[in-house]
């Protein structure tokens, strides 16, 4: 069996960790968002790819869910003392990775090739693909101005009400090598519990990817990022209310209409099962909070079992 997972950052990485504990890593392909990639201090930073790398490589800060454990921030402090920006936290070990990536990108190597090499060096057996090797930047239009993802999310602490989300560069981007093939041939496709607009949206905006998902013969299952009307992390709930009037598994399913056949929702939302059924979605409710490795395995197992129905 082959499984392909569309993935954002923390939630997706925890889900992938659960999946890796159930099936062989060689059975898993992750297609990861690059819409929040950005540059600081000249470093090319790919936060979602790095969160997957650090989580599956056993290096992640366990509570935080992103960044590395046992980090120091001496480089960032020294840079700030010399006038450099420090609103986006960069640990020293993390900077080591960014330096290698930035240097190799500068030498003309593709992001997908560098990512594959990093995964191999960190002993990660799954196939880890950026959605595209081309630049895609998630832009948020707000009354306060139009911001790239990190400016909106980190610098302005995602407090601006979002009027529109655009994926700059997506129309001209090509899916990275292997992405469309994985989507077409996988026995199961999974949309991880990531922000539908800010993590999954930029993946689906790359021409060919949404079509490949829509044309699949096998099941495609989404794991809800919403529990009881709230996002586990970040502004997914606010964006769903803004664009669909309600933050619930049903509006997530509406957002993914024509793309998914199955949906795993949280026990807190089991009243929604009937509405999802009316939308033609086969759904199941379990405890979806992935607080520890047992919970991650439980959620991943629930998706695998649900997709067999």
- Interacting residue ranges for its own copies, rule: CB under 8 A: 41-43, 68, 71-72, 74-84, 91-97, 99-100, 102-103, 106, 117-118, 121-122
Q: How far is the CB of 105 from its own copies (least distance, A)?
A: 9
Q: Which residue number, 101 or 255, has a Cβ lying nearer to its own copies?
A: 101
Q: Which residue number, 38 or 167, has a Cβ lying nearer to its own copies?
A: 38
Q: How far is the CB of 123 from its own copies (least distance, A)?
A: 11
Q: How far apart are CA 175 and CA 306, in angstroms?
A: 28
Q: Which residue number, 155 or 279, has a Cβ lying nearer to its own copies?
A: 155
- Cβ contact 303:190 at 8 Å: yes
Q: How far apart are CA 253 and CA 36, in angstroms?
A: 23
- Cβ contact 222:253 at 8 Å: yes
Calculate helix-pair angle for 111-121, 92-106, nearest 10 degrees: 140
From start to end of 111-177, where are the E strands?
127-130, 137-142, 145-148, 162-168
Q: Which residue number, 125 or 208, has a Cβ lying nearer to its own copies?
A: 125
Q: How far is the CB of 142 from its own copies (least distance, A)?
A: 27
Residues in the chain: 309
What is the DSSP pairing of strand 145-148 with strand 137-142?
Answer: antiparallel
Q: How far is the CB of 229 from its own copies (least distance, A)?
A: 40
Q: How far is the CB of 85 from its own copies (least distance, A)?
A: 9
Q: How far is the CB of 104 from its own copies (least distance, A)?
A: 9
Q: Which residue number, 92 or 287, has a Cβ lying nearer to its own copies?
A: 92
Residue 196: closest CA among 133, 147, 263, 144: 263
CB atoms within 10 A of CB 178: 15
Q: Which residue number, 122 or 295, has a Cβ lying nearer to its own copies?
A: 122
C-alpha torsion angle, residues 247, 248, 251, 253 (rounded to 10)? 140
Place of tokens 């759904």: 283
């Amino acid at each position: 069996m082959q499984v392909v997972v569309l993935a954002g950052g923390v939630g997706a990485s925890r889900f992938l960790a659960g999946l890796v504990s159930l099936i062989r890593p060689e059975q898993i392909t992750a297609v990861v968002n690059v819409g929040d990639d950005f540059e600081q201090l000249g470093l090319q930073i790919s936060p979602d790819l790095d969160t997957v790398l650090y989580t599956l490589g056993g290096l992640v800060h366990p509570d935080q869910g992103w960044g590395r454990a046992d980090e120091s921030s001496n480089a960032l402090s020294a840079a700030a003392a010399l006038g450099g920006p420090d609103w986006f936290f960069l640990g020293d070990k993390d900077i080591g990775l960014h330096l290698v990536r930035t240097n190799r990108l500068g030498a003309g190597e593709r992001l997908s090739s560098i990512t594959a090499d990093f995964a191999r060096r960190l002993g990660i057996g799954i196939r880890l693909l950026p959605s595209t090797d081309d630049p895609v930047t998630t832009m948020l239009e707000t009354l306060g101005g139009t911001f790239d993802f990190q400016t909106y999310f980190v610098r302005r602490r995602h407090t601006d009400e979002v009027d529109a989300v655009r994926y700059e560069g997506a129309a001209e981007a090509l899916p990275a090598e292997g992405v469309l093939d994985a989507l077409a041939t996988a026995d199961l496709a999974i949309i991880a519990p990531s922000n539908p607009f800010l993590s999954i949206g930029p993946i689906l905006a790359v021409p060919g990817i949404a079509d490949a998902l829509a044309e699949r013969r096998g099941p495609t299952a989404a794991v809800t990022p919403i529990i009881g009307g709230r996002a586990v992390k970040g502004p997914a709930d606010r964006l769903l209310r803004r664009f669909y009037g309600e933050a619930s598994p049903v509006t997530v399913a509406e957002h993914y209409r024509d793309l998914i056949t199955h949906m795993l929702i949280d026990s807190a939302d089991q009243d929604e099962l009937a509405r999802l059924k009316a939308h033609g979605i086969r759904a199941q409710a379990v405890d979806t909070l992935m607080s520890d490795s047992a919970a991650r395995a439980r959620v991943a197992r629930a998706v695998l079992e649900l997709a067999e129905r």
